[in-house]
């Protein structure tokens, strides 16, 4: 993986006119990019300008600089204005006047020459005239020679066709050796082959022409800032010809979560064992083998791995043969892969056990370390059901003969969709019937559904570049919830999706948001694309489109898209074109969806009802308007597929649709109605303001709340609290709307109300408004107290009822509400007395552990049990409880130990920091920990990664003072430019500003209300 240091220094530069060039350079290889040191032009400053102004001004500086520099000695050694003894200045001498005039004339002449040069335009590629008047400067390779490429993206003149990769990891020395043969095809005559390599010690490089038998040694150059190497051919590489590049190298197994990395774990006998696995997405295949590490450069792969005969290996394809190499070492060879991107290549070397089941000609297997084999049954059955569903839905069979799902003991993300070899964090794959809760089952099902959807969306058809990551992740997220609704309706996964959409909209309502499809180049920018906007907003836009087009039309469009682009790459427009093939002129899907994909944020639709006439108007929903960042309202015009229901029919039957593609419109109903509700089931990505009709809807909820679906009720709660924050509605009305909650029994509205009130409680508590915070908690108890009392400390009921029980009891125990903590503490003491052998109900286990961790003895016992537990589901609940203590020393120890990864794995750190940040004793500790360990954190998890995004967000989101705002700003400004420019840093600053604004506007109102 790319090290941060590669981005913290400018490269050395060299003057082309003075350095002999060993190899010809193509004219389109020169790029001028100020700030990022891709190619530097002598004498050019780093201030950004408009393109035309930039080109002319930089050229003028270039041509005028050398003379000005040579005359600087003259200027320094003479006084233009000589001072008289009385302090006045004398008239300049004649000689001075002449010199100044000459200098001025030459400078003006040179500038005029640049503007008037015939047939020569100064662009970012330089002067296009053959006789260059600009001195073009390339960066230096590590050996001091010119590196022949200056862009972050690889040149298009060479494409890979096939890789032969041989690896030998050593789990004793924790190093690996490798060799790769890459068959490439030449698209444009060139003398170089530029590809990626990161942290590899290359010892040998040769090239062989097609049909040639002799490998010719070649010079190779390295440019670590871009993770690039250049293989310099001894002769021109000809168009249409294939060549084979052979590279031998070695490296260390990574100690981060990227590339080919090492993991230690304890076996059944508590003996330390080592495990090697890969995580290549987005940019880490290059740290395991030299390759063309961009998603559009698809190729086939033949992989061979040498290993200890006591271990086993897995890769994307089935194993073809195992042959002895030397004493105790064997080589596994895998079948040649399908055409795929480098980030999907994967291999694992470990001691693993598995169970398998065949479906439709593919063998599905779930692997884990031996002591976890009894926890893989649920995952296997779930994977088989989902694989069968996707094959029927897409009308394309899963193309491989096998599909492996592997539980990795230490894994940063939830899972990774490597084709044929999906890797998982243990908590997202292993299900223990004794300790896994209803929520755990839902999580495992969702993650498997997501990764299996990727086998088509992402693997079979891949986004061309990371700007369209949403095509991978948005689609996989959409299909995850769609498949779960179809196959596992009892899990009520649509309610989880609803909550995720609400949270994505919070992020998307900030100034610092971005369009779903955004231009990216640097590694930090690419890492930051893995966020709620690519995943959740992308998925919710697809849901909105599916409901508008109808399920059948949408499915047909997906089938066309997958068939048109299988084994290839695609852009967003390719998806809309496929949909338009099905709509056949009745609707321009591309025109509709571009208003959502290329715009950040979302619309606020205001509804005014007068008799049968409904007026609707759209504007941009935005919490904070910064004049310097603001663009005119005209640029924010969405094509909104509005849906609505009315009192004249039941919500299950008659949903009406209207496409709002103007600023405002009028809808005429066939008759007058008692009420109208827009955005049915929150299937659209917009917020609705009902103006005077809020009173009607509040009355409806009090009188007959089941007239609306649970998702519609949750939608109203979310919308009115957001509008209160925006200042469009009063906080009093928002509190009035949730007064009906004592009659509510559905999870979605209860969860959303609890979320909104908890946000208010947290802000007040951290601001030192303890009495007011207590009154908020009293209000929650008034609304939900009876519901909490009704919960039983068992695992009975439907999955939805069980999940609600977990939520309510965990909340009640955390805030010492009713007699929750007393009951939980008693159960914890009994469990502790049994030395952890007593069985606890899995759905309330977290509440019991949290209560037990409040005492010092309980916390220590919980830590001991954490170290010895073999259930990842149980350990996950323990770690959250351990992070809920109010003992400051224990919290510091917990965060520090997780960063070190000895007792508690580093994969848990983000979750620990988020939990610590929620408590009054912990929220300042968490921020101090982040500040003190920033360099270690970014080395371990990498700038821009989802983990770093979460750590920044959770450790700052509770701040609501100007002092904290200044501190957060100053901290990130003191770090590298890459750190301060992160989207998640800007979001954190926006969030603190909004917290301050909210407190200023609502503190007095809350004191009146509560």
Tell me the catalytic residues. Answer: 451
CB 15 within 8 A of CB 137: yes
10 Å CB burial of residue 1004 (0-12, 13-18, 19+) is exposed
What's the Rg (C-alpha) of the chain? 31
Instruction: Dig out the tokens for 558 from the structure.
Output: 């997906």
Beta-bridge partner residues of 421: 404
CB 987 within 8 A of CB 972: no
Which SS3 state, helix, strand or coil, does residue 74 take? helix
Bridging pattern class, strands 603-610 and 687-689: parallel
Query: Which helix H or strand E contains 764, and what residues bound it?
Result: helix 747-766
3-state SS track over 691-728: HHHHHHHHHHHHHHHHHCCHHHHHHHHHHHHHHHHHCC
Phi and psi, residue 189, nearest 5°: -50, 130
Q: For the residues of 129-173, what is the DSSP string, one character each?
A: SSS--S-EEEEBPTTSSBPS---SSPPTTEEEEEEEEEEEEETTT
Task: Report how far residue 496's alpha carbon sits from residue 507's, in angstroms, rounded to the nearest whole number.
Answer: 17
Handedness of CA 569, 575, 580, 583 (dihedral sign): positive
From the CB of residue 537, how many other CB atoms can be counted at a distance below 10 Å? 29
Nearest to 347 by CA among 500, 516, 176, 517: 176
Those residues with Cβ within 8 angstroms of residue 395's Cβ, 6 or more apart along the chain or in another chain:
559
Beta-bridge partner residues of 314: 348
Which SS3 state, helix, strand or coil, does residue 288 take? coil
Those residues with Cβ within 8 angstroms of residue 277's Cβ, 6 or more apart along the chain or in another chain:
260, 261, 263, 346, 347, 348, 349, 350, 406, 408, 411, 423
3-state SS track over 321-343: EEEEEECCEEEEEECCCCCECHH
Task: Report how far residue 128's alpha carbon sits from residue 843's, in angstroms, rounded to the nearest whole number.
Answer: 69
Those residues with Cβ within 8 angstroms of residue 773's Cβ, 6 or more apart along the chain or in another chain:
761, 764, 765
Dmax (CA) of the chain: 103
Task: Report how far residue 240's alpha carbon sits from residue 243's, in angstroms, rounded to the nearest whole number.
Answer: 10
In the chain, the N- to C-terminal Cα span, in Å, equals 53
**Quick check: bond before 517 cis, omega within 30?**
no
10 Å CB burial of residue 435 (0-12, 13-18, 19+) is buried
Task: Report how far residue 918's alpha carbon sits from residue 956's, in angstroms, rounded to the nearest whole number.
Answer: 10
CB 500 within 8 A of CB 435: no
Q: Which residue has the tokens 């700038």?
A: 943
Nearest to 218 by CA among 298, 208, 228: 208
Q: For the residues of 904-936, what is the DSSP string, one character each?
A: S-GGGHHHHHHHHHHSTTTHHHHHHHHHHTHHH
């Amino acid at each position: 993986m790319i090290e941060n240091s590669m981005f913290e220094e400018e490269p050395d530069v060299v003057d082309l006119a003075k350095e002999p060039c060993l190899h010809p350079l193509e004219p389109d290889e020169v790029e001028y990019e100020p700030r990022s040191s891709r190619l530097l032009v002598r004498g050019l400053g780093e201030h950004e300008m408009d393109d035309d102004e930039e080109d002319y001004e930089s050229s003028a500086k270039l041509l005028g600089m050398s003379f000005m520099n040579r005359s600087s000695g003259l200027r320094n050694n003479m006084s233009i204005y000589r001072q008289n003894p009385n302090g006045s200045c004398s008239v300049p001498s004649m000689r001075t006047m002449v010199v100044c005039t000459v200098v001025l004339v030459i400078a003006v002449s040179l500038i005029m020459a640049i503007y008037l040069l015939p047939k020569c335009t100064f662009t970012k590629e330089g002067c296009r005239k053959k006789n260059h008047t600009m001195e073009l400067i390339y960066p230096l390779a590590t050996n001091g020679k010119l590196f022949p490429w200056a862009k972050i993206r690889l040149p298009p003149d060479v494409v890979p066709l096939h890789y032969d990769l041989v690896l030998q990891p050593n789990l004793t020395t924790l190093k690996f050796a490798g060799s790769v043969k890459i068959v490439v095809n030449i698209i444009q005559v060139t003398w170089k082959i530029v590809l990626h390599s990161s942290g590899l010690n290359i010892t040998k490089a040769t090239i062989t022409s097609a049909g040639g038998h002799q490998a010719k040694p070649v010079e190779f150059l390295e440019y670590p800032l871009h993770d690039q190497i250049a293989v310099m051919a001894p002769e021109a590489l000809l168009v249409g010809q294939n060549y084979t590049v052979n590279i031998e190298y070695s490296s260390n197994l990574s100690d981060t979560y990227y590339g080919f990395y090492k993991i230690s774990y304890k076996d059944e006998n508590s003996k330390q064992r080592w495990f090697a696995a890969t995580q290549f997405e987005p940019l880490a295949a290059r740290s395991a083998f030299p390759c063309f590490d961009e998603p559009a450069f698809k190729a086939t792969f033949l992989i061979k791995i040498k290993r200890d005969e006591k271990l086993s290996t897995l890769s994307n394809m089935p194993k073809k043969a195992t042959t002895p190499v030397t004493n105790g070492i064997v080589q596994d060879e895998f079948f040649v892969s399908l055409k795929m991107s480098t980030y999907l290549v994967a291999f694992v070397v470990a001691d693993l056990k598995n169970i398998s089941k065949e479906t439709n000609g593919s063998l599905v297997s779930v692997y884990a370390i031996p002591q976890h084999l009894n926890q893989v049954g649920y995952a296997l059955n779930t994977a088989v059901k989902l694989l069968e569903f996707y094959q029927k839905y897409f009308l394309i069979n899963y193309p491989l003969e096998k599909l492996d799902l592997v539980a990795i003991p230490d894994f940063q993300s939830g899972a990774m969709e490597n084709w044929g070899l999906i890797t998982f964090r243990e908590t997202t794959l292993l299900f223990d019937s004794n300790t896994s809760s209803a929520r755990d089952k839902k999580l495992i099902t969702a993650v498997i559904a997501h990764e299996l959807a990727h086998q088509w969306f992402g693997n079979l058809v891949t986004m061309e570049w990371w700007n369209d990551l949403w095509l991978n992740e948005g689609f996989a997220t959409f299909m995850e919830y769609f498949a779960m609704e179809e196959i596992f309706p009892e899990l009520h996964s649509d309610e989880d999706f609803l909550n995720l959409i609400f949270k994505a909209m919070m992020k998307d309502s900030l100034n610092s948001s971005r369009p779903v499809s955004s231009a990216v180049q640097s590694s930090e920018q690419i890492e930051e694309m893995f966020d709620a906007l690519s995943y959740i907003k992308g998925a919710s836009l697809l849901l909105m489109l599916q409901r508008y087009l109808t399920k059948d039309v949408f499915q047909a469009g997906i089938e066309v898209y997958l068939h048109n682009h299988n084994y290839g790459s695609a852009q967003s427009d390719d998806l809309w074109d496929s949909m338009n093939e099905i709509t056949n002129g009745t609707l321009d899907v591309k025109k509709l969806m571009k208003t959502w994909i290329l715009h950040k944020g979302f619309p606020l639709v205001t509804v005014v009802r007068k008799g049968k006439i409904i007026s609707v108007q759209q504007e941009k929903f935005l919490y904070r308007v910064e004049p310097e960042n603001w663009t005119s309202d005209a640029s924010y015009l969405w094509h909104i597929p509005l849906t609505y229901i009315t009192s004249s029919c039941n919500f299950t039957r008659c949903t009406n649709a209207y496409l709002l593609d103007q600023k405002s419109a009028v809808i005429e109903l066939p008759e007058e109605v008692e009420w109208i509700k827009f955005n049915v089931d929150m299937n659209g990505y917009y917020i609705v303001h009902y103006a005077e009709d809020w009173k009607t809807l509040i009355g409806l909820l009090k009188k007959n709340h089941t007239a609306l679906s649970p998702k519609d009720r949750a939608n109203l709660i979310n919308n009115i609290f957001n509008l209160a924050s925006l200042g469009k509605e009063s906080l009093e009305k928002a509190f009035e709307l949730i007064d009906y909650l004592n009659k509510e029994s559905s999870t979605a509205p209860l969860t959303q109300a609890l979320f909104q009130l908890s946000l208010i409680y947290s802000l007040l508590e951290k601001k030192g408004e303890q009495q007011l915070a207590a009154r908020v908690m009293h209000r929650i108890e008034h609304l939900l107290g009876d519901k909490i009392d009704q919960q039983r400390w068992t695992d009975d009921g439907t999955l939805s009822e069980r999940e609600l029980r977990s939520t309510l009891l965990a909340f009640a125990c955390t805030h010492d509400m009713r007699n929750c903590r007393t009951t939980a503490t008693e159960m914890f003491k009994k469990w502790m007395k049994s030395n952890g052998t007593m069985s606890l109900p899995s759905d309330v286990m977290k509440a019991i552990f949290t209560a037990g961790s409040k005492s010092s003895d309980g916390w220590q016992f919980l830590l001991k049990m954490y170290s010895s537990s073999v259930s990842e589901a149980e350990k996950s609940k323990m770690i959250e409880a351990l992070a809920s203590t109010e003992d400051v020393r224990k919290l510091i120890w917990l965060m520090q130990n997780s960063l070190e990864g000895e007792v508690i794995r580093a994969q848990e750190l983000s979750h620990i920091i988020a939990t610590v940040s929620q408590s009054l004793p912990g929220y300042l500790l968490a921020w101090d920990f982040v500040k003190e360990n920033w360099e270690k954190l970014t080395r371990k998890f990498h700038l821009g990664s989802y983990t770093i995004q979460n750590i920044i967000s959770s450790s700052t989101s509770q701040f609501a003072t100007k002092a904290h705002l200044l501190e957060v700003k100053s901290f990130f400004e003191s770090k590298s430019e890459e750190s301060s420019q992160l989207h998640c840093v800007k979001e954190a600053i926006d969030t603190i500003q909004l917290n301050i604004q909210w407190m200023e506007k609502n503190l007095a109102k809350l004191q009146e209300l509560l």
